[in-house]
Structure 1
Amino acid sequence: MNRRKPLPVDPIAEAKRQWTAHGWGNAATGMSAVTSVMRTQQLLLGRIERTLKPFELSFARFEMLRLLAFTREGRMPLASVISRLQVHPTSVTNTVNRLVRDGLVKREPHPEDGRAALVSLTPPGRDLIERATVSLNEVFVDPGLSDEDTTELVRLLARFRKQAGDFADPTPQPEPL
């Protein structure tokens, strides 16, 4: 996983020490948590980008293609893509434009809403996303933690995301009559 020589000291632990030494001890643990998550994101994104590079895909392009491939017909309204990917509409539009340019998706008119557009996976897009997913699953199979630690990390981060308003528990459905 690590492609460079490790640093002789953990810079986040040193930053925490400095935070405390400078009178910010009440914020030191939180600073350590935030910067640890951010650094971990950089490390994981680096692995993902190296894995997707042979497919000429960024993670944003991968997510878009994978989302479409998960649908029954390989297409969905652009507004739904924006909502599901939780990305700014301009970023989604730019990603779609590049995927259209590369022949991996196409835009189609919405059959019921003349103001809306559908994004559809093309056969070359479907082939590429299936091959890229096989490679990326090698990263997901071994994210760098034990299965128990990975499960606990997902639980902790989900709790954080929920408390931050990222998602809500689904509303219970009524029992069938």
Structure 2
Amino acid sequence: MIFCSMKNLNVVTWTTMISCFGVRGKADEVLNLFEKMKVLGFKPNSVTLTGILASRSHLGLITQSKKIFNSIRSSYDGQNVPSASVWGALLGGSSVHRNVETGEVAVRHLFEMEPKNASNYVALCSIYDSRGMWKDASLVRLKVRRLRLDKTPGFSCILLGSEALIIVLVCTI
């Protein structure tokens, strides 16, 4: 309701709504907003495009994600080279849905753009592991060791009254 009542919409407000719908799994609303945004003359940025791709790929709509991705590449001047976040959204969706082919395409670009980002290697290993492709996963792990990459462990903090419970998640590749 707030979005609809705003008088000064801009790419940030449109992107925020697109991302919120995407997080809530409302993929059709994401595309409707995207189309309306374009009709009204707002040019999406890489964050907008990441939100759109993430919403589609995380719901398993990999084929649609590829179509959108390819249309984005051909439609927007200055964005012909997708950012790492756009490739990362495609890789994330591929990882969730165990899509080796799309994951390998995305990660190839990410390796060029972010050769020291261990998260990309972890995602690729996850895809290979989920499909029983042990040899491919081992080769990726070997490359990580050769490059001496470290994956920063994640952690969560839960407050229980005045006590804090910290959970550290160690990721080994």
Q: TM-score, normalised by structure 1?
A: 0.28
Between Structure 1 and Structure 2, whose CA radius of gyration is higher? 1
